[in-house]
Amino acid sequence: MSDNKTDEPLAVVGAGVMGTAIAALAVGHGHPVTLIDSSPQARDGAPDRVRLHLRTAQMMGTLPDGRPTGRLTLASTPDAAAEASSVIEAVTEDPKEKAAVLADLAAATSPGTLLVSNTSGVPIDELAGAVPRPEDLVGVHFMNPAYLIRTVEVILGPRTGDGAATAVHTLLAGLGRRGIVVGDGPGFVTSRLLHRMINDAIEVVREGRATPETVDALMRDCIGHRTGPLATADLIGLDNLADSLRVLHDRTGDTAFRPSELLLAKVRQGQLGRKSGRGFYDYEEAIR
């Protein structure tokens, strides 16, 4: 298992919002990173997104001073991860897609390579069934934006080995992150609590009892929620939120996790939050 020297190569699979943010965090700490995505469009846009994340992180003072930036390499297939010391899967919150990607990564890497699934709610032991070496698999839930938020939820499945448990903390410490370990299960801790609240907040808007601005102002100013649940939903990505809620609903049977019809309507309309320019709020000017 890796001791996470800063020159050790990492691989990140998925060049979306989370994948590019995690890649930026890693190259900002000096790691050479191979960013893998089968979509030519995603690969084409990835360098600019990583550079934007890096610039923001540098402005916010969340990267080490004086450390050279690692090299970013783009690739289209999982076999590009063969030489990586650790591999982070950061594809969409679809259990079948995650399982397929992890299986491909396990086949491409040698035993003892740390396999990390970045997930907000898919049980790690469920994903472990897709890989030949479940002892190498751990779950990590980076919060968005990963290059700014320093605390990370770490999930150890029943089949996670001691070596992987140690290696993930070494990896995170080398990225300037504090890992907090929780038990396995749908939604873990953060999503189990947060997503229910966000879904209820969306329902309040759907019912016409309050605007998004009102809901968020009350939750910020009365309850102390830093951004408000609907602004948080836009940051997560409304499509990602809907996928996570489906995972929770399907695996717990709790109707509170059934995605709100207003949420699903916004996803169908392409209003996905900050990344699309519009969700519960308008960000068109910000992304121009």
**134: preceding bond cis by omega (within 30 degrees):** no
Q: What is the CATH number of domain 10-182?
A: 3.40.50.720
CATH 1.10.1040.10 fits 190-280, yes or no: yes
pTM of the model: 0.91
What are the average pLDDT values for consecutive 10-residue runs of the chain, which has 288 residues? 65 96 96 97 96 94 90 97 97 96 97 97 97 98 93 98 97 96 97 97 98 98 96 96 97 97 98 96 72
Q: Where are the domains of the chain?
A: 10-182, 190-280
Q: Are strands 137-141 and 10-13 parallel, antiparallel or unpaired?
A: unpaired
The pLDDT of residue 137 is 98
Kindly write down the DSSP assignment for every residue of 38-103, as one continuous string: S-HHHHHHHHHHHHHHHHHHHHTT-S-TTPPPPPEEEESSGGGGTT-SEEEE---S-HHHHHHHHH
Q: Is 175 exposed, middle or buried (0-12, 13-18, 19+ CB in 10 A)?
A: buried
pLDDT digits (tens, 9 = 90+) for 268-282: 999 999 999 999 999
Do 275 and 237 form a contact (C-beta atoms < 8 A)? yes
Alpha-carbon span 161 to 42, nearest angstrom: 33
Q: In what order do the strands lie in the sheet with 72-75?
A: 72-75, 33-36, 10-13, 86-89, 114-118, 137-141, 151-155, 178-182
The token duo for 93 is 């919150």
The pLDDT of residue 66 is 84
Number of helices (H) and strands (E), helices first, in the chain? 11, 8
Strand partners, 75: 36
Alpha-carbon span 208 to 213, nearest angstrom: 13
Alpha-carbon span 201 to 192, nearest angstrom: 15
The pLDDT of residue 285 is 66
Do 234 and 282 form a contact (C-beta atoms < 8 A)? no
